[in-house]
Amino acid sequence: MESESTFIAWLRDRLPPHSALRLGPGDDAAVLAWATADDVVVTVDMLMDGVDFELADVDPRRAGRKALAVNLSDLAAMAAQPVAALVALALPRHGGLALAQSLYEGLLPLAERFGVALAGGDTNSWDGPLVISITAIGRPRNGRVWKRSGARPGDVLLVTGQLGGSILGKHLDFTPRVEEALALAERYEIHAAMDISDGLALDLSRLTDESRCGAVVDVTSIPIAPAAVELAAQRRDGVTPLDHALADGEDFELLLAAEPSVAERILAEQVLSGRFGVPITAIGQFVAEPRLWQRDAAGEVSRLAPRGYEHRLD
Amino acid sequence: MESESTFIAWLRDRLPPHSALRLGPGDDAAVLAWATADDVVVTVDMLMDGVDFELADVDPRRAGRKALAVNLSDLAAMAAQPVAALVALALPRHGGLALAQSLYEGLLPLAERFGVALAGGDTNSWDGPLVISITAIGRPRNGRVWKRSGARPGDVLLVTGQLGGSILGKHLDFTPRVEEALALAERYEIHAAMDISDGLALDLSRLTDESRCGAVVDVTSIPIAPAAVELAAQRRDGVTPLDHALADGEDFELLLAAEPSVAERILAEQVLSGRFGVPITAIGQFVAEPRLWQRDAAGEVSRLAPRGYEHRLD
In this structure, the strands spanning A117-126 and A80-92 are parallel
CB contact under 8 A, B90 and A48: yes
pLDDT of residue A290: 95
**pLDDT per residue over B255-277, tens digit each?**
999 999 999 999 998 876 666 77
Residue B267 near chain A (CB below 8 Å): no
- Residue B170's φ and ψ, nearest 5 degrees, are -60, -30
pLDDT of residue A274: 67
Q: Whole-angstrom Cα distance, residue B140 to residue B40?
A: 8
Is the CB of residue B43 less than 8 Å from the CB of residue B71? yes
Comparing CA positions, the residue from A189, A185, A218, A202 lying closest to residue A286 is A218
Comparing CA positions, the residue from A141, A142, A147, A135 lying closest to residue A210 is A147
Is the CB of residue A46 less than 8 Å from the CB of residue B90? yes
Is the CB of residue B66 less than 8 Å from the CB of residue A250? no
Rounded to 5, what percent of chain A is helix, strand, coil?
A: 35, 30, 35
- Residue B178's φ and ψ, nearest 5 degrees, are -65, -50
Comparing CA positions, the residue from B266, B279, B305 lying closest to residue B225 is B279
Mean pLDDT value across residues A144-158: 95
Task: Give yes or no for residue A1 having a pLDDT over 60.
Answer: no
pLDDT of residue A9: 85
Provide the whole-model pTM.
0.94
A28: nearest CA partner in chain B:
B74
Average pLDDT, chain A: 93
pLDDT of residue B274: 67
Residue A101 near chain B (CB below 8 Å): no
CA distance A97 to chain B (A): 5
**pLDDT per residue over A87-96, tens digit each?**
999 999 999 9
Q: Whole-angstrom Cα distance, residue A282 to residue A295?
A: 13
Helices (H), B126-199: 170-173, 178-187
Q: Is the ipTM above a cut-off of 0.85? A: yes
CA distance A243 to chain B (A): 22
Residue B35 near chain A (CB below 8 Å): yes
What residues of A are in contact with residue B88 (Cβ under 8 Å)? 44-46, 133, 135
Q: Can you list the positions of beta strands (E) in B112-191?
A: 117-126, 131-140, 156-160
Q: Whole-angstrom Cα distance, residue A23 to residue B192?
A: 14
Comparing CA positions, the residue from A156, A159, A154, A155 lying closest to residue A255 is A159
CB contact under 8 A, A29 and B147: no
- Nearest 5 degrees, angle CA A66-CA A107-CA A58? 50
Measure Cα distances from A61 to A58, A110, A137, B291 in Å: 8, 11, 22, 38
Task: Give yes or no for residue B54 having a pLDDT over 70.
Answer: yes
